[in-house]
Amino acid sequence: MDLKQNIENNPTIFGKILRGEIPADKVYEDELILSFRDIQPKAKIHVLVIPKKRIVDLREAKPEDAEILGHLMAKIPEIAAKAGLTAGGFRLVANNGDHAGQEVPHLHYHLLGGEELQKL
């Protein structure tokens, strides 16, 4: 399945954002990934970063997804800078599955900061 079909068949809320069916406050976009502000921020600054290809969570990632995931990770500093997270630093979190409380079954990384966060 190519990326266009993958996005068309994505039943999650992030699929709707990728298709432009619901708005998102975008921070960064390229051919492989999209970043936008979380609708219910859990810190002063809270953005999400997703691969455009739907990967449910890291347990579902395939060897061929390595390029996408490496690209996503490599872009985090640039996205953090665009979101205003460079000076104080940030937390990077990905909830994977039920025990972690993952709500949206499309892999996403939370970038949190803009204030001092509670220590994990």
Q: Which residues bind ligand 5GP (CB under 6 A)?
A: 13, 22, 24, 36, 38-40, 48, 95, 101-104
Nearer to ligand 5GP (CB atom), residue 13 or residue 61: 13
Residue of 107, 53, 49 whose CA lies nearest to 80:
49
Q: How far is the CB of 60 from ligand 5GP (least distance, A)?
A: 14
Nearer to ligand 5GP (CB atom), residue 1 or residue 26: 26
Q: How far is the CB of 94 from ligand 5GP (least distance, A)?
A: 7
Residue from 46, 71, 99, 108 carrying the catalytic annotation: 108
108 in active site: yes
